[in-house]
Structures are given as C-alpha cells and as structure tokens.
Amino acid sequence: MHTFPAVGIEMIDVGANLTHESFRDDLPGVLERAGQAGVSTIVVTGTSIAGSMAAQALAAAHPQLYCTAGVHPHDASRCDASTIPALRALLALPKVQAVGECGLDFNRNYSPHPSQERWFEAQVELACELGKPLFLHSRDAHPRFADILGNHRRSHPNGLPPAVAHCFTGERDELRAYLDLDLYIGITGWICDERRGTHLLSLVREIPADRLMLETDAPYLTPRTLRPQPKSRRNEPAYLSHVLATVAEALGRPIEEVARATSENARRFFRL
C-alpha cells in the first residue's frame, strides 16, 4: 500500500482505535508499517470501560503507544455508579494520558440525549478533578456541546483542562465556537474526501498552528487520496501521511513544517 514518508518526518497519530477487532490478527504488522511511514507515536482511543482497559493493556505492551480512557456517547446509557470510579482508576495508570473519547452524538442517538449529557458532564468533571486533558467527540451536537463545555469553563475554578475536538468535520460557526473555548482541533482523513470534506480545505487555514493535530481514527475514514484503496477498506496509522499531505497542501506549507508543528502540539497536549 502506498505511503510516502519523507526522511526525517515524524508524525503522531492522536486517535486510532487499535482495539477494534479488525486489528486483532495483524497488529504487529500495523505497528511496523506505521513506524516505516514515520508515525512514531499513536494514541489509542478508549471508548468504553472495557475498551479503555484494552487500550491501556496495548499501551503498556508497546513503547510507541499511549491511550485515553473514557466512555463514548454511544455507550452513555450503559454507564452506572461504577463508571467514574473505574475511569479514575484507569487514568492513574502509566500511559493513560487523557479522558475520553467522550462528548455528544446527536446523529445516531444510540443513547438518549439526557444520558449522553449526564455522562459527558461527569467525564468533564473528572478531567477537571484530575487535571487530565479531554479527548472529545461531537457529531450533530452543536451548539449544545459547546454550551456544556462553556458552562464548565466558567464554573470551574481552574477552567477547563486542555481539550481536543477529535475528528472535526463541522462548519465555520462550530470551528469558531471551539477555538473560542481554546480547544485543539483534530483533523482526519475526512479532509481527503472530495465528496464531503472539501469545506475543511479552507477551514483548516483558520486553525491556529499551535492548535492543530492529526489523526487517522483508524480503522475508520481511510483517506480517499490513498491509491490503491485497501481491499479491506480498513484505515491504519501508516496512512496518516495522506492526511498530513492534504493538510499541508491546504495550508500552503511544507509537509515537514506541518508534521513538526502538529507533533509538537500532540506532545504538549498529551504530555508525551
């Protein structure tokens, strides 16, 4: 599969779902290809208690991996009194760097809105308590998502910890709201999709250089600029170079410069 690492380029994939069953049989090869493509570090996304435990186990077993621990809004209705204590315990372990993936998803509504909001707020409170960054999900939930974050920012003595809007795909008003909240912005292969991601080619220029991070969201969102497309349609961290190339072209900046800046942002944000 075609990737195009340049000599000396280092990339950090800040969001990859490596606990997904599609990686079960060939994870060593996936990690080797990522390294060969210049992806030096990968943050594995936790989306449930069980998934976050699996992500922590992966991170503990591989030096290039770190992880998050959280409950995705799809799973909010499964949360109970044990959820926050379980996350607090996970977040005390080495290489568990952020709270999340948490937030709101009003697109698929796998969990009712009140349940999503309750457990999103609980995880934001946990991040504030622990001083851990937030790895955030919002889909079709603007402006409610920004309202909740803004309320916590105003009411908490220390404001919000650093937070990233993972896999940003929204429009300008949503981006401006997130930047006003000092969020980092995660860009995926959505920007490589000529059918639905072309608006991001101009919006990415409005993201401050010190707020931009890159991610694959593997195994989802395989960059459509990848040729040939994998027969399995599975995305993997090695393909982050295609996201980098599209972002750099949209910014009119050298690939090396964008790789360096986004990697520095990721190291600072996740305290790598």
Query: Model confidence over 147-169: pLDDT tens digits?
Result: 999 999 999 888 899 999 999 99
Distance of CA 72 to the CA centre of its chain: 12
Q: Which residues of the chain have pLDDT under 70?
A: 1-7
Percent of the chain residues topping a pLDDT of 90: 94
- CA pair distance 103, 126, nearest whole angstrom: 13
Residue 109, sorted as left (phi over 0), alpha (psi -120 to 50) or beta, turns out to be: left
User: What's the maximum distance between 2 C-alpha atoms anywhere in the chain?
Assistant: 51
pLDDT score for 269: 98
Query: Model confidence over 104-137: pLDDT tens digits?
Result: 999 999 999 999 999 999 999 999 999 999 999 9
pLDDT score for 156: 87
CATH of domain 11-270: 3.20.20.140
pLDDT score for 150: 97
Contact yes or no for 100/68 (Cβ under 8 A): yes
pLDDT score for 7: 56
pLDDT score for 158: 86
Full-model pTM? 0.96
Domain boundaries, the chain: 11-270
Residue 186 β-bridge partners = 213
